[in-house]
Amino acid sequence: MADWSYWLAAAGVTVILELFSGTFYLLMIAIGLAAGAVAALLGFGEAVALLVAALVGSAATVALRRSRYGRQQERVQAERDPNVNLDIGQTVHVPAWQDGAARVMYRGALWDVELAPGAAATPGQYTIREVRGSRLIVAA
């Protein structure tokens, strides 16, 4: 077999391994290996093909890392994330407070309501900021 076919086979194996890993980083290395196959197909020496594969693979990896797909996502706690808990952002009417806590009817059931830090305990409409078990944390 020719040198370029070994490079292409290595790229194929790397793509298969990437399917098991779930990240795009091995795919970027496979792009570098494919570039090495092209360099070998064009008749450049083994050292030049290796250099091309390393440069293209490294550049592709750096480009992926700088893209929005390579950035680490901030972890949001589920009890505060409105995408996870649809109650967050809804309003409840609190008729009376007793020591920073109350019981309100919400979605057909009685819920314990706790006042968020820094909020004033006056009767009225409140927005749900967090859900901890069966307790709603609200703020004005």
Q: Which domains does the chain have, with CATH numbers?
A: 3-66 (no CATH), 78-139 (2.40.50.140)
Pair 74, 36: CB distance under 8 Å = no
The rounded distance, in Å, linking the Cα atoms of 42 and 140 is 69
pLDDT at 39: 94
pLDDT at 87: 78
3-state percent helix, strand, coil for the chain, nearest multiple of 5? 45, 25, 35
The rounded distance, in Å, linking the Cα atoms of 19 and 130 is 38
pLDDT at 14: 93
Return the bridge partners of 91, or none: 127
- Look at the pTM and tell me if it is higher than 0.75: no
Q: Tens digit of pLDDT for each residue in 49-108?
A: 999 999 999 999 999 888 877 666 666 676 677 777 777 888 888 888 888 788 888 888
